[in-house]
Structure 1
Amino acid sequence: MNEGYITINFNLVSGVFIQRLNRFMALVEVDGKIALAHLPNSGRLRTVLCSGAPVYLRAIGDNPSRKSAYTIFSIKRGDIMIIVDAQFSNFLAKESINLGLFEDLLGYRVVKENFKLSDGFNARLDLMLEKFSDRFYIEVKSVTHVVDNVALFPDAPTLRGRQHVLQLISLLRRGFKSGLIFSVQRPDAKLMRPNVKIDLQFTKLLRKAADEGLRIFTLKSTFNPPKTIKIEANKPPFTF
């Protein structure tokens, strides 16, 4: 079995996307009123954001520490519903592991999330898995950029992504298993590739890591509002 279903445990409200204001803020329309919304994705999102597109939002309510009352969860571009929330990718990856969708990760359990190691790298890793005395380190990358049915990562140069791959290589050389999950959060992708035109160095490092034993996984998510997400392991297939 390489597919499963998740029911999200939070409520969403519908709205309309108006425009991106800066890296993490956007204007939306909800019930005929213009409102600020947090955009939890630092990518360029050129094949995602579209003025006038329907969006689903998490309503945050009154919170004096926030500028916005909403967080954008998904946006519909044409007929394609895209989960734009990059932070949600960790949850999708964790659920796929718990459901046993990846054959190579069967029997592992998530024991730590969003953590730092004392290995000289400043970046945090997403998941630490264990199976008895065996340990597996996983980094998750949210993918929303698709061109001609090919999912591409990154959609902007990613120093952080390069640092993560270097850290995973370091772990491999120390005898640990490590892997990277590309969480493709839209259903129209038929293939997954590193975006060599945007970040050649990331592509080179990823190929080097794969040559040294890094496991590369893909996970496709299809959101069916308001609550259901279908997840499919090893889709779309990855290639360099």
Structure 2
Amino acid sequence: MIFDKRIIKAIFLTRPNRFEAYVYMDGQEILVHVPNTGRCSEILIPTVQVLLREENNPRRKTKYDLIAAYKNGKLINIDSQIPNKVVYEALNKGKIEYFKKYNKIEKEKTFGNSRFDFKLSNFENQECYLEVKGVTLEHDEVTSFPDAPTERGKKHLMELVEVKKSGREAGILFLIQMQDVRYFTPYDEMDEEFGQALRYAQREGVCVSAYNCNVGESFIELDREIQIKL
């Protein structure tokens, strides 16, 4: 997908809370919105170059969203709204092999007590519920999720198992919002229960996949499937 709003470079200064950050741009310090509630502490480090997206909404407190940052020369998108958009585009283009048999794509559909990102179906009455998780945590080209404890993530995995038991297909896709990575693995040190739930879900037949992205200053798109180590 190509960004249709103005993208501006700035220098990151500090992040006083989950939703806001201060950056240096055009000779002044300004407050911006951070569209990611994760910690991103290994990315948002003082003096790193970041990308801002201009949001011309007069009712907003801030004029810009902080959507990406350079980490050791690697551009990482941190906008939590991006993964679903990238996957939706990829599903429509048939770029994800496992889900190519589905021709109907619905967003935000409920099964049991959970709302999943996508419900996929086709003319053969086959159905699949798909959850997408954005990944920004990386060290030495190894990517991990989550970067903060996530009870909601574990709940989604347990519900995906129930989807599978109902005779439908179920999947979780980790969208790695950067290029040049070697593999993906759950971050057990941060949330051991999520890692255990992910392994259990895979054993129960839930499709667990990971894809990286081609990332530029004005675009992001799904690239290729990445190895998973559980």
| TM-score using structure 1 length | 0.89
Partner of 1:46: 41
Greater RCO (Cα-Cα under 8 Å, separation 6 or more) = 1
Deviates more, 1:82-91 or 1:66-75: 66-75
- Give the counterpart of 2:21 among 26, 31, 37: 26
With over 3 angstroms needed to count, the CA separation of the structure-2 counterparts of 1:85 and 1:138, relative to structure 1, is: same
Structure-1 separation of matches of 2:153 and 2:92? 25
Structure-1 separation of matches of 2:144 and 2:25? 31
With over 3 angstroms needed to count, the CA separation of the structure-2 counterparts of 1:176 and 1:81, relative to structure 1, is: same
Structure-1 separation of matches of 2:34 and 2:41? 14
Letter in 1 for 2:213: S
> 1:192 and 2:184 equivalent?
yes
> 1:238 and 2:215 equivalent?
no
Partner of 1:98: 92
Structure-2 separation of matches of 1:179 and 1:234? 14
Query: Is this contact kept in 1: 2:128–2:170, CA < 8 A?
Result: yes
- Give the counterpart of 2:56 among 61, 68, 71: 61
Please report how far the alpha carbon of residue 111 of structure 1 lies from its aligned counterpart in structure 2 after TM superposition. 3.0
Please report how far the alpha carbon of residue 230 of structure 1 lies from its aligned counterpart in structure 2 after TM superposition. 4.3
Query: Is this contact kept in 1: 2:40–2:137, CA < 8 A?
Result: yes
Residues 32-56 of structure 1, C-alpha deviations (whole Å, 9 max, x = no match): 2222111111111122111111111
> 1:147 and 2:147 equivalent?
no
Please report how far the alpha carbon of residue 63 of structure 1 lies from its aligned counterpart in structure 2 after TM superposition. 2.5
- Give the counterpart of 2:129 among 130, 133, 137: 137
Letter in 1 for 2:27: G
Letter in 2 for 1:239: K
1:202 partner SS? helix
2:91 partner SS? helix
Structure-2 separation of matches of 1:113 and 1:14? 32
Structure-2 separation of matches of 1:110 and 1:233? 22
Partner of 1:114: 108
Runs of 4+ in structure 1 deviating by more than 6 angstroms, as ranges, are: none
With over 3 angstroms needed to count, the CA separation of the structure-2 counterparts of 1:31 and 1:46, relative to structure 1, is: same
Partner of 2:72: 78
2:161 partner SS? helix
Structure-2 separation of matches of 1:222 and 1:49? 20
Residues 156-189 of structure 1, C-alpha deviations (whole Å, 9 max, x = no match): 1111101111111111111110101101011232
With over 3 angstroms needed to count, the CA separation of the structure-2 counterparts of 1:110 and 1:26, relative to structure 1, is: farther
Q: Note the aligned Cα RMSD (angstroms).
A: 1.6
Please report how far the alpha carbon of residue 31 of structure 1 lies from its aligned counterpart in structure 2 after TM superposition. 1.8
2:87 partner SS? helix
Structure-2 separation of matches of 1:38 and 1:215? 34
Query: Is this contact kept in 2: 1:38–1:70, CA < 8 A?
Result: yes
2:17 partner SS? coil
1:52 partner SS? coil
* Structure 1 portions without partners, runs of 5+: 1-5
Quote the sequence identity (%).
29
* Structure 2 portions without partners, runs of 5+: none
Letter in 2 for 1:146: E
Structure-2 separation of matches of 1:88 and 1:110? 21
**Length, aligned pairs only:** 229
